[in-house]
Amino acid sequence: MSFRRPNGPIWRGCRSRAVPGAALCVAALTLACASAASSEPPYALIGQSAPDFALHAVAAGNVRLSEHRGQVVVLSFWGSHCGTCRTQLTALDRSFTTYRSAGLAVYGVDVDDDPAGALDFAHSASLSFALLLDPAKAVARSYQVDNLPMTVLIDRNGTVRYVLREFNRANDALYLQQLHLLLDE
């Protein structure tokens, strides 16, 4: 991404050499870049009832979301061609084994176009939670999945409370913070 130096009062006095007020210019530029990066539209389901669904699990029967009222539910949308998805699912598995006794349920929801690839991925992953198949992508559409991996945290009352649209170390810490808040409610 390239940035042109805009004309305007915030940029007056900004020069390529150090000058008094240069820190202010750097701060203004940083703020402008941060707001441009966070211009992503807000997730519309925050604060709304989580859309109910029933999906087939790879290693078991069907899973219906509404049967998990009273638990904190984490949905992770993944694809077999997404390397970051495998890393995130492994991190979620650690959360699940740590907090399942506190009322945590975790499900990975596949959104692959390749059912065979999804099954291979699911069978090769050593996870303690169920991986669900969404071949028609109806659940992915109802949760407005726009990036993989995407994680949705649902509180004990069935309300969507937090969404993580990408996975990295910084976001993982924020996810854990949000997870702890929901488990403590």
Specify the CATH number for the domain of residue 81: 3.40.30.10
The answer to whether residues 24 and 115 belong to one domain is no
The answer to whether residues 97 and 138 belong to one domain is yes
Query: For the chain, how many structural domains are there in total?
Result: 2
The answer to whether residues 3 and 35 belong to one domain is yes
The answer to whether residues 35 and 59 belong to one domain is no
Task: Determine, yes or no, domain membership for 107.
Answer: yes
The answer to whether residues 92 and 116 belong to one domain is yes
pLDDT score at 170:
58
pLDDT score at 103:
96
Nearest to 123 by CA among 56, 58, 55: 58
Q: What is the mean pLDDT of each run of 10 residues along the chain (185 residues)?
A: 30 33 35 40 87 92 95 95 88 94 96 85 88 94 93 97 79 84 95
The C-alpha angle 39, 88, 35, rounded to 5 degrees, equals: 15
Domain range for 145 is: 54-184
Q: How many angstroms separate the Cα of 183 from the Cα of each of 25, 65, 98, 107?
A: 42, 17, 12, 16
The answer to whether residues 26 and 110 belong to one domain is no
Does this model's pTM top 0.85? My answer is no
